[in-house]
Chain A
Amino acid sequence: MTDLALPSSSTSLRTMAGIEARRLARHPAFIIGNVLGFGVLVLMAVLDDAPAFGDVLSTPVVAAFFIGLPTLIATARLTRSTEATAEALGTAPGTEADRTKALALACLVPFAAGLLWLGLLLVVTVTESVHPNEWWFGTMPDWQVWSILIALVPVACLGGGVLGVLTGRWMRFPGAPAVMVVAVVVVTMVGQLPVAYESASELRLWVPWAMWHSGSDSANGTADLLAGNPFFYLLYLLCLCAAAALVAMWHDRSARTRRLRFAIVGVTVVGLACLALSMTTGSSENQRSEPIPFQVDK
């Protein structure tokens, strides 16, 4: 990294982001993750012999796991890949912060993959139908369904990518992306499972991928919709993504301007406010569905 102070230049961010997006789309980890993510969804739809598609709101874990986490590895490796050329690149008008911005924008590729996956999920639910008792459009407000789906699928994929950029910039030891993947999984599980079915279920919402649907109870076929406001949770996740991108940019000493500092503080404050709102507004208790007949003793 250059020692000299140089604020961001007017390099064409869009062009650079396009290059990074193409590199990400061709990265083996990203490709394999997408093949698995889409493949599992198709298999679920094909192999499910139930009369309707069930547990829809818990299905997004497939996209988050198979697309979001491999994307983290892919973007971390892409970010690190230019480190060996840093001295030459550092003397061009475009700065490391510009390159970080471009990488963060390239994370719109996994976001788009997540949207596509979500589209396929919706097609499956339309063609196979969803039981009227399931937590879905009709049994809960549309905005809640959309908030949950968008937060847990495309935004989770976007978050994986941006977290990878952050990892690539700040964690320099070999295997850092894998360590970060394990850390995300552990934090997500440990941070929410102990409280998800308790009276203070909304305390789970600080994790980067919070459950909203319990999955069906196979004994009586009911399903729980977990407490909290999914819309503010969606905003909280978007703030986390923005904060990760900004902190990744902070790695470039020449980019450490007052404006960037304010942006990081601002996004953090807004994110915390959204988290508080997601915990304090919306449903304060978990809600149980009516039994779904084909889920009983499945």
Chain B
Amino acid sequence: MNAIDLQGVTKSYGRTRALAGVDLSFDRGVTGLLGPNGAGKTTLLRIVATSIGADSGTVRLLGRDPHGTHGDVTAIRRELGYLPQELGYPSDMTAFGFVEYVAVLKEWNDRTRRLAEVRRVLDLVGLGDLATRKVSKLSGGQKRRVGLAQSLLGDPRVLVLDEPTTGLDPAQRADLRRTLSVVAGRCAVLLSTHQTEDVAALCERVVVLAGGRVRFDGAVSEMIRTAEGQVWLADDPGHDAVVSWRTGTGRHHVVGGMPPPGAVPAEPTLEDAYLLMLGADARTASARAAPA
């Protein structure tokens, strides 16, 4: 039995179709969800997190139906950790107080065990020393880690993380990778991110969504292989390249299209493969997402 099973899942918001017949299964390990803005990643994660329901299709979480009985939904939620894309905090709560508040909602009724669990998850995300500080006084990255801490309460069997690395500096991202690598052996981790290097570093599997459909589902190495022979370093940007940019060495990193004169093949990255796979979609989304 897979931890997460989705068959023919659709979801629309008014006339906008966010998911169009998605078939996916996940079990233990870390799966990265990539895709341009509006691809349906957050919708997929919210369905898995039991935050919203699908319009049609079958969703099974830990063998149970999240649309089913009260017992089924509660049983799923007891085994679920969820970090939403945007998470605000009550201004009067400390990091410890907030995580304890969530712990109570997650039925950690025994006080001694609850406090120990809250300390454990705060230590796990490296916030043990800042536990008594008000969340409103923490930096953006630290707040994100408070959110991550609450999602890790009780060693969930399904961990859903929507852009967990947002606001984290490189050292904090490295810490997050370490933390997730610890928990990944025990649960199914589904994370969405725009950072392809995080997916490359963390995930054994990657799913690419675009326009509400699955465009790729496989191992990270498999996805990188799809870009082999299509990435070069060249003196020219390449006229028909999917994307190219001038690197610090002065040469151009050219992805897709015909190799420019004098180009030498380069080792492709997951980002190259992603850009090649989504082509114009990715560039359009990047342009939309870029600050003015």
Contact = CB atoms under 8 A, between A and B. Distances in A.
Interface of A: 2-7, 9-12, 15-16, 19, 23, 26-27, 78, 81-85, 87-94, 98-99
B83 A4 contact: no
Contact of B151 (A82, A88, A93): A88
A5 B74 CA distance: 11
A176 to B, nearest CB: 17
Task: List the 9 closest A-B pairs by CB distance, nearest first.
Answer: A84-B88, A94-B105, A81-B90, A92-B105, A12-B109, A87-B84, A91-B82, A7-B70, A93-B77
Contacts of B105: 11, 16, 89, 92-94, 98-99
B53 interface: yes
B82 A82 contact: no
A85 to B, nearest CB: 6
B289 interface: no
Contact of A10 (B66, B88, B102, B107): B107
Contacts of B82: 87-88, 91
Contacts of B147: 88
Contact of B92 (A81, A90, A91): A81
B64 interface: no
A74 to B, nearest CB: 11
Given A87-B51, A92-B106, A9 B74 contact: yes
25 contacts: A4-B67, A4-B73, A5-B67, A5-B73, A6-B74, A6-B77, A11-B104, A11-B107, A11-B109, A15-B109, A16-B105, A19-B97, A19-B104, A23-B93, A26-B92, A81-B90, A81-B92, A87-B87, A88-B82, A88-B84, A89-B105, A90-B51, A93-B107, A94-B104, A94-B107
Interface string B256-275: 00000000000000000000
A7 B70 CA distance: 6
Contact of A91 (B77, B89, B90, B98): B77
Contact of A93 (B52, B93, B106, B150): B106
A15 B114 CA distance: 11
Nearest to A26: B92
Contacts of A2: 50-52
Interface of B: 46, 49-53, 66-67, 70, 73-74, 77-78, 80, 82-84, 86-93, 97-98, 100-102, 104-107, 109, 111, 147, 150-151
Given A15-B109, A82-B90, A85-B88, A91 B51 contact: yes
Contacts of A27: 92
A149 to B, nearest CB: 33
B52 A81 contact: no
Q: Most chain-B CB neighbours within 10 Å: which of A6, A19, A82, A92?
A: A92
B53 to A, nearest CB: 5
A189 to B, nearest CB: 33
A96 to B, nearest CB: 10
A23 to B, nearest CB: 6
A289 to B, nearest CB: 47
A73 to B, nearest CB: 14
A78 B91 CA distance: 10
Q: Most chain-A CB neighbours within 10 Å: which of B49, B73, B105, B107?
A: B105
B89 A94 contact: no
Given A3-B52, A12-B109, A87-B82, 18 more contacts: A2-B51, A3-B53, A5-B67, A5-B73, A9-B70, A9-B74, A12-B104, A16-B101, A19-B97, A19-B100, A83-B88, A84-B87, A84-B88, A85-B87, A88-B84, A91-B51, A93-B78, A94-B105
A202 to B, nearest CB: 43
A19 B87 contact: no
Nearest to B83: A88
Contacts of B106: 92-94
Nearest to A87: B84
Given A12-B109, A27-B92, A81-B92, A6 B151 contact: no
A18 to B, nearest CB: 9
Contact of B66 (A4, A11, A85, A92): A4
Given A81-B91, A88-B150, A4 B104 contact: no
Contact of B51 (A3, A12, A82, A99): A3
A4 B53 contact: yes
A93 B51 CA distance: 12
Contacts of A82: 90, 101
B44 to A, nearest CB: 14
